[in-house]
Structures are given as structure tokens and as C-alpha cells.
Structure 1
Amino acid sequence: MASEPRLLGRGFYWQELTPGERFRTYGRTITSTDRSLFVGLAGMVEVLFTNADYARDHAAMRGEVCPGALVLSIAEGLALNATAQETGLAFLGLEMDIKRPVFAGDTIEVEIEVAEVRPESKGSRGLVRTINTVRNQHGEIVMIYRPLRLMAGDPGAVEA
């Protein structure tokens, strides 16, 4: 009898990660539609995001600048789909630095570096902190954030 095929895309158990390991996601282009939907959904009715005349005449930057929260959300989608599918249990917090603006039409990707891995006090779960560097299509760093996550443990691993 053939065994079940291995499911592609499953995230890492915390025991499979080592500080210093690095990963890179595919890129994703942030569209004007993404920007508009996010601003509307989040209720970010700031004129910078909702009034083209104001933005053209008064904004420090030209173009459809994206809220940092949108860039973070898309970066998290890229990172989580690649590393935590079925194994991410909880998002516990983050530190974030925005380095430069992102505009509708920019493509971002995320480099993930494992910074800390340690067992949690209950069961086989573990805490994982990464340093996530978000770059635009020119390779420029636009954001760095450091999430802390509770991750599932490998059910086949022997506990010490």
C-alpha cells in the first residue's frame, strides 16, 4: 500500500529552525486596488490616502504611497505562507522600523533570518523570533520587523 503523499507548503516546526538560517520569499506587487481596499477596510480615511488632489498638492512624496500597515500585512502574508502553514500557533508581537516609502506598483519580497529559537514552557511548542527584511524591486530596504511567534513542535520529536 502506498503511503500518503507529503503535503507541500507546510511550515517549519520550531525544532527545524536554527539561528542564522535565512530564507527569501517570492515577490508580490502591491497594486492600487490593494491600497484602496486596505485603506477602506482599515478605515484609514487620512487625506493622504483618500484625496488625490490633497496628495498631489501637499504630500511629501509623489505617487500612491502605501500605509506601512499594508506593507507589513503583505510581507506577513508572504512570510507566513512560506514558513508557518499549519505550524504557526500565535503571533506574540513585533518591533518594526519603516525605512522608506512603498508605492502602488512596487514589488516587495521578504528575507527572513532566524534570530532566536527556544522551547516554550508547555508541551512541545517553541518560541521563534525572526528578523524580516522587506525590500522593494530595486533591492532597497523598505522595512525591517522582528516578529515573535509561538510555533508547533514536531509531533515525532522526542522531548528531552
Structure 2
Amino acid sequence: MVSVVLVAAIPTLEALAVAVVLTDGSAGRTPPGLVAVSSDGFDALLVAVCDVLAAAADTEESGGARRSVDGAQSSIPVRATGEVMNEQRVFEAIETGEEYETDGRTVTDADMRLFAGATGATDPIHVDREYADAHPLVDDVVAQGTLLLAIADGFVVDAIAGDAALSMNYGHDEVRYLDSVSPGETVHGEVVVTETEHRDEEWGIVRATAELVTTDGKTVLVDEHRLLVATAAHSEV
């Protein structure tokens, strides 16, 4: 029997955030930090929550990442919230050595619990504060490593792929989790294009290093990332 589970309500971003988890009722146990509820009225509740979160996102201000090449900063935002970019870059226009620094993003309890709801990553170190308080390596619950990687992915999209005529995520060559991030900490992305090469007539490969850095200068994640970007011959597809 499948039961509906809701993450306990958490006030963040002046909103009420909840996440939905489907669990096997035969397991007889709700994951730490989660409470089982009836499915009555579930659809209406989910719609209401989505509306609240969308409204919160609409009010968040962001200047977007900015591009520099060899230390020269561009005045053109790569991608800012709510903007439609006019500049559409093809593979040939992307240069090795381009550097980007994104705006900050604060990791919240809601982020972690929504991610747990979506992925089942409910290890107690992510959702159980009593467990985390007794843990020898951390002082608070910490964000899932793959959640931080997803945030880094978003920063790479903002920096490089956001204004590309046509692009696709091609994967990760190497990811290292160097330190933990707890709710309330703010991270930003530092992205450098390290290599570009033609894959064929239609696509080029852009290699970039993306680092997540906290406001106090702590590097918490390093991602060696690959993107496929359309060449000039393929950009109109």
C-alpha cells in the first residue's frame, strides 16, 4: 500500500514549504523528519503550495551571472531572473578562459526537504537535528551533496548555457564534495571555461570548472562539467 507523506511545514522565504514523498506503507516507518497524513484534499494542497513557492520565486531579486574574459568584465548579464536574452551565442563564440561569478543562493530547510521528497535522500544527517547534533563531524543538518551539485548545475546554466542558441548538459567528469553546507548558508558559483573542442559539424564540447563557494570563502564543491553547444551550422535547429 502506498501512503502519502508530507514533510513538516517549514517557514522559509516568508512562505510555507512542504514536500511530498511516496513511501511503501509496508515498511511501517516514516522517514525521519516526515509525518504521514491523509491523502484527502492532497491535490488542492499541492496546487496551493506550488502557487506560494512560485510567488516567492517571483519576488526574489537576482542580477544573474556576469561574464569576463581575461579579467575584463562584461556589462551584459548572462541570465537575470525574468529577463529574455537577446544575445544567442553559438559554440564558436565561447572562449577558453571565460570566467563567471553568479549571485548568491541561500540553502534552506525547505530546499533540503523538498529534495528529500523528490529523491528519497532522507538520511538522518539531512533531516534529523537531534541526530546531527550528536554527530562528530557536523553541528547541524547538512544539505545533500547531490542537491549542491544541482545548484552548481543551475549556476553553469546561468553562466554558459543560458544564452546559448542551443545547448545540452553532457555530464560531469569529476565531482568533489569538499565541505558541508547547512541551512542558512549562502553559496555562489565561480565558473571557468577550461577547454572547447569541436565534436562534429553540429556540436562542440565546452568543458568548465564550477565551484560552489560560501560567503566566508569556503569552497564546498568542485564540478568538472561538460556541455554540448550547437555550432553556427546547427544553431537554427
| TM-score in terms of structure 1 length | 0.83
Q: Percent identity?
A: 25
- Asked whether the equivalents of residues 188 and 213 of structure 2 are also in contact (C-alpha less than 8 Å), the reply is yes
- Asked whether the equivalents of residues 11 and 83 of structure 1 are also in contact (C-alpha less than 8 Å), the reply is no
Q: Which residue of 2 aligns with 1:113?
A: 192
Of 179, 199, 202, the residue aligned with 1:100 is 179
Within-5 A mapping of 1:1-160: 7-8=84-85, 12-85=89-162, 86-121=165-200, 123-155=201-233
- Asked whether the equivalents of residues 11 and 82 of structure 1 are also in contact (C-alpha less than 8 Å), the reply is no
Residues 119, 56 of structure 1: alpha-carbon distance in 2 compared, 3 angstrom cutoff: same
Residues 111, 155 of structure 1: alpha-carbon distance in 2 compared, 3 angstrom cutoff: same
Instruction: Work out the CA distance in 2 between the residues paired with 1:10 and 1:57.
Output: 51
In structure 2, runs of 5+ residues without a counterpart are 1-83
Whichever residue aligns with residue 141 of structure 2, its letter is E
Instruction: Work out the CA distance in 2 between the residues paired with 1:71 and 1:137.
Output: 15
CA deviations over 1:52-109 (Å, ceiling 9, x no partner): 2222223520112111111111121122033213532232333011111111111111
- Asked whether the equivalents of residues 209 and 223 of structure 2 are also in contact (C-alpha less than 8 Å), the reply is yes
Aligned pair count?
A: 150
Instruction: Work out the CA distance in 2 between the residues paired with 1:53 and 1:26.
Output: 32
- Asked whether the equivalents of residues 99 and 143 of structure 1 are also in contact (C-alpha less than 8 Å), the reply is yes
- Asked whether the equivalents of residues 55 and 62 of structure 1 are also in contact (C-alpha less than 8 Å), the reply is yes
CA deviations over 1:2-60 (Å, ceiling 9, x no partner): xxxxx417664221122122111111111111111112211012121232222222352
Q: CA RMSD in A?
A: 2.1
Deviation at 1:132, TM superposition (A): 0.9
Instruction: Work out the CA distance in 2 between the residues paired with 1:129 and 1:42.
Output: 27
Deviation at 1:118, TM superposition (A): 0.7
Instruction: Work out the CA distance in 2 between the residues paired with 1:108 and 1:32.
Output: 15
| TM-score in terms of structure 2 length | 0.58
Deviates more, 1:82-91 or 1:144-153: 82-91
Instruction: Work out the CA distance in 1 between the residues paired with 2:232 and 2:105.
Output: 30
- Asked whether the equivalents of residues 10 and 87 of structure 1 are also in contact (C-alpha less than 8 Å), the reply is no
Instruction: Work out the CA distance in 2 between the residues paired with 1:9 and 1:60.
Output: 47
Residues 110, 11 of structure 1: alpha-carbon distance in 2 compared, 3 angstrom cutoff: farther
Residues 136, 11 of structure 1: alpha-carbon distance in 2 compared, 3 angstrom cutoff: farther
Q: Which has the larger radius of gyration?
A: 2
